[in-house]
A and B are shown apart, each in its own frame.
Chain A
C-alpha cells in the first residue's frame, strides 16, 4: 500500500533559526496536504499542493511539491516559539474519489527562546 515517510521525526532549533521537514511517498501523489498540531491539540489544515513543482508561501512558511509529485517539503524561516508543534503531511494517490489519505508520522518542532 501507499507509504508516506516524513523526516526528521524531531527537530530542536533556537528561535530565529530555520526549519525544514520533508515528506516522501512511495507512489505518485495526486495532491498533498500539510497540517499542524499544537501540543495537546488537534491537527489543523495549513495548505494543499496539487501541481507538479508547485510552491506556496504563507508568511514565513514555504511549501513545495516535487516535480515528480512524490515528495514535498515545508520550510519555516526564522522560527518563533509560536511555531512549536508537530507538522504532518497527508498524501493522496490513485483514485481521487477514493476517500482516504495517508499521513506521515510527523515532525515535532521545538523552539528554544
Chain B
C-alpha cells in the first residue's frame, strides 16, 4: 500500500525543547516538502528537497531544520528557536521537483507546544 506516513498524529512538547517530526514515503518520489498550516491560513513552505542529500529553504525556514539522507525519509526538526511552533505540519512528496508534478500529502502531525 503506497503512500506517505507521518508520525505521530498528535505531539505535545514543552517550550524550549527540540522535536523531530517523521515523514516517510514509499512512492519512490524524488521530491519531498514540509508545510506548516495555521488556522485560516494556507500552506506555507518550510523546506523542500528535490534529491537525496540536498534541500532548500522555503518561505518560513527559520527555527526549523531538515535532513534528506534517504530517498524515502525527510524528517523535520522544530527547534527551540521557532517562536511559535504550535501548528499542523504537513509533509508531501512528488515524482520530481518542478511545476508539473502533483504533490501527495501525508496525514499531518499536529504539534502543540505547552
Give chain B's interface residue range (CB within 8 Å of chain A).
Answer: 20 to 34
Q: Is the CB of B105 within 8 A of A44?
A: yes
Please, how many angstroms separate the alpha-carbon atoms of A64 and B41 in the complex?
A: 23
A9 to chain B, nearest CB (A): 7
Q: Is the CB of B102 within 8 A of A45?
A: yes
List residues of chain B with CB within 8 A of the CB of A103. 35, 42-45
Q: Mark B30-58, 1 if CB is under 8 A from A, else 0.
A: 01010100001111110010100000101
Please, how many angstroms separate the alpha-carbon atoms of A48 and B56 in the complex?
A: 24
- A77 contacts the other chain (CB 8 A): no
Please, how many angstroms separate the alpha-carbon atoms of A102 and B31 in the complex?
A: 16
4 closest residue pairs by CB, A with B: A99-B97, A92-B99, A105-B42, A45-B102
B residues neighboring A (CB under 8 Å): 31, 33, 35, 40-45, 48, 50, 56, 58-59, 90, 92, 97-100, 102-108
A residues neighboring B (CB under 8 Å): 1, 6, 9, 30-31, 33, 35, 41-45, 48, 50, 88, 90, 92, 96-106
Given A99-B48, A106-B42, 19 additional A-B pairs, CB 8 A: A31-B99, A42-B108, A43-B103, A43-B105, A45-B104, A48-B102, A50-B100, A88-B43, A90-B43, A96-B98, A96-B100, A97-B98, A99-B97, A102-B45, A102-B59, A103-B35, A104-B42, A105-B41, A105-B42
